[in-house]
Amino acid sequence: MSRLGDLLKLERTRRGLTTKQVARMCGIADKYLVDVESGARIIADDQARRILKRIGLEQQNEAEFSLDAIAAAADLAATAQKSSADDANPRGQTRQQTREPDKPVMSLPAEQPDGGIFLSALSEVLRQVPIYDASWRVVGHRALPIIGGRIEGGPPDHVLYFLAPDASCRGFRILPGDQTLVLPAQSPIDGAVMLCEFNNHRALRKVKLEPASVNRVTLQSYDREFEAETLPADQVTFIGRVARIEITL
């Protein structure tokens, strides 16, 4: 199947509709829809959206996720169902099945809140990570994959993006406006660029631990010149370490 074909079939069967019923609702040929769901025919995004809307997909469900992301989740949902079936029948034994004509093959829940089975699957594999500015306001979101229950090794609920507010880390290859992916860390990490709170503001700084003292930490910046500020450790709050930098061209 194609990704959009998977998505259309999942949503159609979730609502208990046959291909003939959906084709009649959308004014298209039954064979055309069958070919799309099987992957034999390519369908454009806008036409897929129209079909999904006609069978009951609410507009608000598309607000936070692209159609590509939803379709990718449909792929994962279909794969997960196949894996579950294989686990239930590990030796590949065939089972006698009887079903009435024109009945959906898949047995799915009659209703799920917030837009259907593909959004449920999507929430398991993607997380909308908030983007914060220096004033700690959420200015956007980025969708990141959850792998093994983690995002880049961090707990999904505590991972965030921070917009670099200035050029104080230019020498560390972080420019104003760059999106830095921050993983939670409440203790200083020697040599890491970290998001810190000190002197009543938040900033990105490279951390250097003082070997002679466990109670002091040096925060390094590098714009036109290299600068370092050593502070008592209890005067600095560490939010997390920068794991990745994303730029906008």
Domains of the chain: 3-88+102-126 (1.10.260), 133-246 (2.10.109.10)
* 97 alpha carbon, distance to own chain's centre: 37
The amino acid occupying position 55 is I
HEC letters along 191-231: CCEEEEEECCEEEEEEEEECCCCCCEEEEEEECCCEEEEEE
pLDDT tens digits, 165-198: 999 999 999 999 999 999 999 999 999 999 999 9
CB of 108 within 8 A of CB of 13? yes
245, containing H or E segment: strand 237-246
Angle formed by the axes of helices 3-14 and 45-54, nearest 10°? 0
| Position 205 pLDDT exceeds 80 | yes
Task: Select from 119, 126, 122, 142 the least CA-distant residue to 52.
Answer: 119
CB of 142 within 8 A of CB of 179? yes
Higher pLDDT residue, 183 or 121? 183
pLDDT tens digits, 73-95: 555 555 545 544 554 555 555 44
The amino acid occupying position 117 is I
User: Is this model's pTM higher than 0.85 or not?
Assistant: no
Higher pLDDT residue, 78 or 145? 145
Q: How far apart are CA 246 and CA 244, in angstroms?
A: 7
